[in-house]
Amino acid sequence: MAPVPNGTIPSAPVTGRLSSVYSEVQKKRVDHALPLPSVLKRPFTIIDGPPSSAAGNPDEIAKLFPHLFGQPSAALAPSDPRVAQTHRKLKIGVVLSGGQAPGGHNVISGIFDYLQERAQGSTLYGFRGGPAGIMKCKYVELTSEYIYPYRNQGGFDMICSGRDKIETPEQFKQAEETAKKLDLDGLVVIGGDDSNTNACLLAENFRSKNLKTRVIGCPKTIDGDLKCKEVPTSFGFDTACKIYSEMIGNVMIDARSTGKYYHFVRLMGRAASHITLECALQTHPNITIIGEEVAAKKLTLKNVTDYIVDVVCKRAENNYNYGVILIPEGLIDFIPEVQHLIAELNEILAHDTVDESGLWKKKLSDQSLKLFEFLPQAIQEQLMLERDPHGNVQVAKIETEKMLIQMVETELEKRREEGKYKGDFRGQSHFFGYEGRCGLPTNFDATYCYALGYGAGALLHSGKTGLISSVGNLCAPVEEWTVGGTALTALMDVERRHGKFKPVIKKAMVELEGAPFKKFASLRDEWALKNCYVSPGPIQFSGPGSDATNHTLILELESQA
Amino acid sequence: MAPVPNGTIPSAPVTGRLSSVYSEVQKKRVDHALPLPSVLKRPFTIIDGPPSSAAGNPDEIAKLFPHLFGQPSAALAPSDPRVAQTHRKLKIGVVLSGGQAPGGHNVISGIFDYLQERAQGSTLYGFRGGPAGIMKCKYVELTSEYIYPYRNQGGFDMICSGRDKIETPEQFKQAEETAKKLDLDGLVVIGGDDSNTNACLLAENFRSKNLKTRVIGCPKTIDGDLKCKEVPTSFGFDTACKIYSEMIGNVMIDARSTGKYYHFVRLMGRAASHITLECALQTHPNITIIGEEVAAKKLTLKNVTDYIVDVVCKRAENNYNYGVILIPEGLIDFIPEVQHLIAELNEILAHDTVDESGLWKKKLSDQSLKLFEFLPQAIQEQLMLERDPHGNVQVAKIETEKMLIQMVETELEKRREEGKYKGDFRGQSHFFGYEGRCGLPTNFDATYCYALGYGAGALLHSGKTGLISSVGNLCAPVEEWTVGGTALTALMDVERRHGKFKPVIKKAMVELEGAPFKKFASLRDEWALKNCYVSPGPIQFSGPGSDATNHTLILELESQA
């Protein structure tokens, strides 16, 4: 068991949270003891798997990672307790990279506790503010006291995060200097697909320079799009989806009680629609739009609008003038015609003056003009007026849920005139995003992260590098979870950028042939017309349901079994 | 103890929720047994208090309620068990009126269980869809099976609610006919200030017509603005504030972790700012705007903006370019100059054509013109374009949080040019409203509502009418809670409308001399510059903190003690 100090929050006015006021629930969580997989509770040995390849273009990956390509994945296995374990002290750095996800603090406390228990006298440095902290050698030494108030707490504020990347030769040089200065044996990079790619580049670079610093990644993102067979889920997804589902469930009961609103709920998750799909499986909304399906079927915005309007009309016939509709944040990125329009607009806005009379519109292709005219006026204006510093249209700023409400209203009016709709439609828009990134981690995320961190410590202690900490068998009791590391190069493919091959870990998108989508697809027609709402309620830390994981993970693991 | 059937949700495909899929937490809650105040567990007697008066203008109230005015409040007290209790059967109706609040279902189950246990053979009718259900005699007979799946669940969907009022002589006649047709001994009206006023008018009317139907009110509103000494809080306030505070706490940790956003959180509560104040006390935001203070100090929108900008600038000096700001939904209703502008705009929009050249603006008073020009363009357009069916400006639709972000941006740019601000400002807007109205009730709301309903049953059984169910001593253990009824006329004052006196229960506003505001005011400067964020976390139904009530209630009760 981890040496979690008992007692209340120290009251000393130190940095970080030590001086914070804690709620009853925070206090309870800070002292919550976490179970470890059995293999981490006893002496272990590392079993290497067969040589690995790449997710795509192995030849190019081999060229990009000459020192790391092909290395086996590693699995921890119980060892003969009579065999002496390595007890050398380590100096380890840890960094949080990118957006917040519940559980990040537990990865760090997992690493720390590993070092305390298995490599006494070790030092853990926390780089501040993300990868910039590595480059600028901005760090804090993490002690038992420093870490304590963050145990099982949400947020990344223990050392904060950042979105910088270590990319240029000069930046790699800075990282090397920091590694040398702190005499680092290892570095744990907690991040998403980009950050883990970066971790692997660092590992390759350190090895090529004969530095002793090993690098291990950890899979973090609420979006749930960093996963593969060996890494069944990214941490934070479970908590974020449960927080959003609590709110969705509440809104559903409200919709049913009032009987007069359609709630359009946009959910965070720009690239993939995993969050939206998981929330649908948890709550059974009337309509759910999955970006990957929209893209695969090459749907237009009009198609999506019509789909919603069809359901609204059918429900009106049953006297249901209310409902709940889930929309992924990245929806319009999935619609090919919108991409074309945006590209054309960016071109026009960059080179032409936009006259008020609208002559500029003649430069749009027919298809784009038609789409532009189909958009509500407010959205048209937003597209024309709000640009990012590069002068580009800010697609991310478009409130898709409000846009859809307006388009649905317009279409319903048309149908009303045609005598095909007699209902009442009132839309309410919601965006659930920031609320879910820093909640108190669920029991699952808290335990999963702790094992990821503890396992990362074990991998570094064993001299491994270029692996992503991998904890598996997650549907079994925690004791039976597997622990190891997967070669980061095995997750990689290349993309051609500026005439060069760049290594990437491709985002795991919602698979239309995958078990979670198929389950959803088999039920959505029933959900559309009946009201099968489920209200998951607030996340509980004890009692029934408190140890459950999410539908996506369970369905995926079951289908692999 | 209430006869809550054990076991799982019946699977029979009946109306209501009986066929619903329940989450683990919902299932756990449905079987959660509720404690009752001691006085409700044993034979009781009713002790009448002294004659009552009115909150204001007692002479007018006496004229409006000739049969009810002056009647005493009633307190339940333990009676000699040897004295025979009344066991006559009753026919009772119950109605939910107005917006949802967590706990409404428990009021109904409280009434039901009272009848089951103390007046066997009684009948409980639920009027569907609010007061309209009374007028149209649209009802359902509530049975043990029907009620069971709604126990401790959020929402009003057991019988749904509505916003109709029983006002005209014809409507009172309809209510009488329903009362006669169903042979009602009593009616429980669960609602806010307006609905309880209506309940009292109904009670007066039934009595004046010599109908046997008694009427008892129950204090419902998440806004927390229906309360007085005898009715220390309205139900739903506790749960809603805790749901919002969970989200605010999460956003705070996010703000601190990212370090780059100011989150402007608008909170439901149009008339009074109790919710905003309570959430501030729970979470310690950097800035909290309380509408009642803005009104009392006659602040302008510019004053409010400057206050926010001052704090943002001071925080930037400490390198904090982030923060959390709470804004009550009804903020702009509290600002006198905005009220003037709206009134002038309504006048102009009703009688004049609005020319594009802006000549119409000359009709605005100087002060209103200045304010109009101060508003961000998007808000100007919203004021001019979006009107309600009566042609009036839709103040409720203004997204105050977005408006403030824009005004703060503009002012900060000015200060930057003057060299007084060097920070970075990025605003993120949130509106927390519908998410909080139908959540699973907290232990407090669940228990409080059950006692309110059980007590309402007792009052009706004792032949009482024109009272509002009153449960007190709420900071003590449940066993020691007091139960009784307060004369609704005692809560009333009159307002002059269309040349007539109308009875009203005045909304309880945030009192600037009250304990909750004073505590907030004594701490807000510290919260502004330091980061004293508290993250309450998700509502727990067991374990530490699960039985706590809210700060507002505790502070108010303590200050009365």
pLDDT in tens, B49-81: 999 999 999 999 999 999 999 999 999 999 987
Q: Which of B446, B459, B468, B451 is nearest to B546 (CA)?
A: B446
What is the secondary structure of A51-83 as a DSSP string? PP--SS-HHHHHHH-TTTTTPPPEEEEE--TTS
The answer to whether B100 touches A257, Cβ cutoff 8 Å, is: yes
The mean per-residue pLDDT over the stretch B125-135 comes to 97
Q: Is B473 on the interface with A (CB under 8 A)?
A: no
Q: Around Cβ A554, how many Cβ atoms within 10 Å?
A: 16
What is the secondary structure of B156-205 as a DSSP string? STTT-EE-----SHHHHHHHHHHHHHTT-SEEEEEE-HHHHHHHHHHHHH
Q: What share of chain B is helix, strand, coil (3-state, %, to 5)?
A: 45, 15, 40
pLDDT digit string, tens, across residues B512-534 = 999 999 999 999 999 999 999 99
Q: Do A253 and B157 touch (CB under 8 A)?
A: yes
Q: Give how far the C-alpha of residue B440 lies from the chain's centroid of Cα atoms, to the nearest Å.
A: 16
The answer to whether A275 touches A244, Cβ cutoff 8 Å, is: yes
Q: Around Cβ B143, how many Cβ atoms within 10 Å?
A: 12
- Residues B178 and A128: their CA atoms lie apart, in Å, by 70
ipTM topping 0.90: yes
* Torsions phi, psi for A304 (to 5 deg): -65, -45
The predicted pLDDT at position B5 comes to 35
- Residues B392 and B395: their CA atoms lie apart, in Å, by 9
B524, with CB counted inside 10 A (0-12, 13-18, 19+), is middle
- Residues A547 and A238: their CA atoms lie apart, in Å, by 11
pLDDT digit string, tens, across residues B219-260 = 999 999 999 999 999 999 999 999 999 999 999 999 999 999
The predicted pLDDT at position A2 comes to 34
Q: Do A23 and B156 touch (CB under 8 A)?
A: no
- Confidence class for position B351, pLDDT limits 50, 70, 90: confident
For the ranges A110-119, B16-25, B330-339, B357-366, the lowest mean pLDDT is seen at B16-25
The predicted pLDDT at position B16 comes to 58
- Residues B103 and A13: their CA atoms lie apart, in Å, by 41
The sign of the torsion formed by the CA atoms of A76, A79, A81, A82 equals negative
In a mutational test of the B interface, the residue from A97, A246, A377 whose CB has the highest number of chain B CBs within 10 Å is A246
The predicted pLDDT at position A242 comes to 98
Q: Record the tokens describing residue B360, joined without a space.
A: 């119409």
Q: Residue A260: its chain B contacts at CB < 8 A?
A: none
Q: CB pairs below 8 Å between A and B: how many?
A: 186
The answer to whether B537 touches B282, Cβ cutoff 8 Å, is: no
* Torsions phi, psi for A256 (to 5 deg): -70, -35
Q: Do B543 and A542 touch (CB under 8 A)?
A: yes
The mean per-residue pLDDT over the stretch A276-289 comes to 98
> DSSP E strands: which ranges in A104-231?
123-127, 139-141, 161-162, 186-191, 214-219
pLDDT over 70 (residue A480): yes
A349 SS3 class: helix
Give the 3-state secondary structure of B60-128. HHHHHCCCCCCCCCEEEEECCCCCCCCCCCCEEEEEEECCCCCCHHHHHHHHHHHHHHHCCCCEEEEEC
Q: Residue A247: its chain B contacts at CB < 8 A?
A: 247, 435
Share of chain B above pLDDT 90, in %: 83
For the ranges A49-53, A542-546, B374-378, the lowest mean pLDDT is seen at B374-378
The predicted pLDDT at position A238 comes to 98
Q: Do A535 and B26 touch (CB under 8 A)?
A: yes
DSSP A189: E
The answer to whether B214 touches B464, Cβ cutoff 8 Å, is: yes
The predicted pLDDT at position A13 comes to 32
The predicted pLDDT at position A64 comes to 97
pLDDT over 70 (residue A253): yes
The answer to whether B201 touches B208, Cβ cutoff 8 Å, is: no
The predicted pLDDT at position B333 comes to 87
B416 SS3 class: helix
The answer to whether A178 touches A215, Cβ cutoff 8 Å, is: no
Q: Do A263 and B434 touch (CB under 8 A)?
A: yes
Q: Residue B548: its chain A contacts at CB < 8 A?
A: 24
In a mutational test of the B interface, the residue from A27, A253, A381, A424 whose CB has the highest number of chain B CBs within 10 Å is A253
Provide the greatest CA pair distance for chain A. 85
The mean predicted confidence, pLDDT, of chain B is 93
Q: Are strands A262-267 and A323-328 parallel, antiparallel or unpaired?
A: parallel
The predicted pLDDT at position A19 comes to 59
Q: Do A430 and B430 touch (CB under 8 A)?
A: no
The mean per-residue pLDDT over the stretch B472-497 comes to 96
Q: Is A380 on the interface with B (CB under 8 A)?
A: no
Q: Do A253 and B539 touch (CB under 8 A)?
A: no
Q: Which domains does chain B have, with CATH numbers?
A: 17-234+440-503 (3.40.50.450), 239-434+510-539 (3.40.50.460)
The predicted pLDDT at position A438 comes to 97
B409 SS3 class: helix
Q: Residue B29: its chain A contacts at CB < 8 A?
A: 537
pLDDT digit string, tens, across residues B405-436 = 999 999 999 999 999 999 999 999 999 999 99
The answer to whether A480 touches A40, Cβ cutoff 8 Å, is: no
Q: Is A156 on the interface with B (CB under 8 A)?
A: yes
- Confidence class for position A4, pLDDT limits 50, 70, 90: very low
The mean per-residue pLDDT over the stretch B193-217 comes to 97
CA distances to B131, B244, B258, B426 from B286, in Å: 42, 16, 16, 15
- Confidence class for position B9, pLDDT limits 50, 70, 90: very low
pLDDT digit string, tens, across residues A501-542 = 999 999 999 999 999 999 999 999 999 999 999 999 999 999
Q: Record the tokens describing residue A342, joined without a space.
A: 């945006």
The answer to whether B112 touches B142, Cβ cutoff 8 Å, is: yes
Q: Record the tokens describing residue A397, joined without a space.
A: 């700023």
- Confidence class for position A7, pLDDT limits 50, 70, 90: very low
The predicted pLDDT at position A346 comes to 87
pLDDT over 50 (residue A14): no
The predicted pLDDT at position A6 comes to 34
Spell out the alpha helix ranges (H) of B288-418: 291-296, 301-317, 336-351, 366-374, 377-385, 400-417
The mean per-residue pLDDT over the stretch A444-468 comes to 98
* Torsions phi, psi for B531 (to 5 deg): -115, 95
For the ranges A55-64, A173-182, A389-398, B287-296, the lowest mean pLDDT is seen at A389-398
The chain B residue lying nearest A428, using CA atoms, is B434
H or E stretch including A178? helix A169-181
Q: Residue B160: its chain A contacts at CB < 8 A?
A: 257-259
Q: Which of A271, A293, A268 is nearest to A279 (CA)?
A: A268
The sheet carrying B323-328 orders its strands as B287-288, B323-328, B262-267, B427-432
Q: Record the tokens describing residue B98, joined without a space.
A: 């107005």
Q: Is B440 on the interface with A (CB under 8 A)?
A: yes
pLDDT over 80 (residue B389): no
Out of B15-19, B40-44, B381-385, B448-452, give the one with best mean pLDDT: B448-452
- Confidence class for position B84, pLDDT limits 50, 70, 90: low
- Residues of B labelled as active-site residues: 223
Q: Is B249 on the interface with A (CB under 8 A)?
A: yes
pLDDT digit string, tens, across residues B103-116 = 999 999 999 999 99
The chain B residue lying nearest A21, using CA atoms, is B534
- Residues B355 and B361: their CA atoms lie apart, in Å, by 9
Strand partners, B218: B190
DSSP A544: T
In a mutational test of the A interface, the residue from B163, B246, B442 whose CB has the highest number of chain A CBs within 10 Å is B246
Share of chain A above pLDDT 90, in %: 83
Q: Which of B291, B306, B300, B238 is nearest to B512 (CA)?
A: B291
- Confidence class for position A355, pLDDT limits 50, 70, 90: confident
Q: Output the CA angle A420-A424-A428, nearest 5 degrees.
A: 125
The answer to whether A451 touches A441, Cβ cutoff 8 Å, is: no
Q: Record the tokens describing residue A158, joined without a space.
A: 């223990």
The predicted pLDDT at position A391 comes to 74
Q: Give how far the C-alpha of residue B548 lies from the chain's centroid of Cα atoms, to the nearest Å.
A: 19
Q: Record the tokens describing residue A288, joined without a space.
A: 């759910």
Q: Is A315 on the interface with B (CB under 8 A)?
A: no
Indicate the residue of B129, B537, B542 with minimum beta-carbon distance to A542: B542
The mean per-residue pLDDT over the stretch A343-367 comes to 85
CA distances to A204, A473, B459 from A234, in Å: 23, 14, 56
B304, with CB counted inside 10 A (0-12, 13-18, 19+), is buried
For the ranges A316-325, A342-351, B93-102, B144-153, the lowest mean pLDDT is seen at A342-351
Indicate the residue of A25, A250, A437 with minimum beta-carbon distance to B537: A25
pLDDT over 60 (residue A3): no
Q: Do A434 and B428 touch (CB under 8 A)?
A: yes
B104 is in an annotated binding site: no
What interhelical angle do B237-258 and B443-461 show, nearest 10?
170
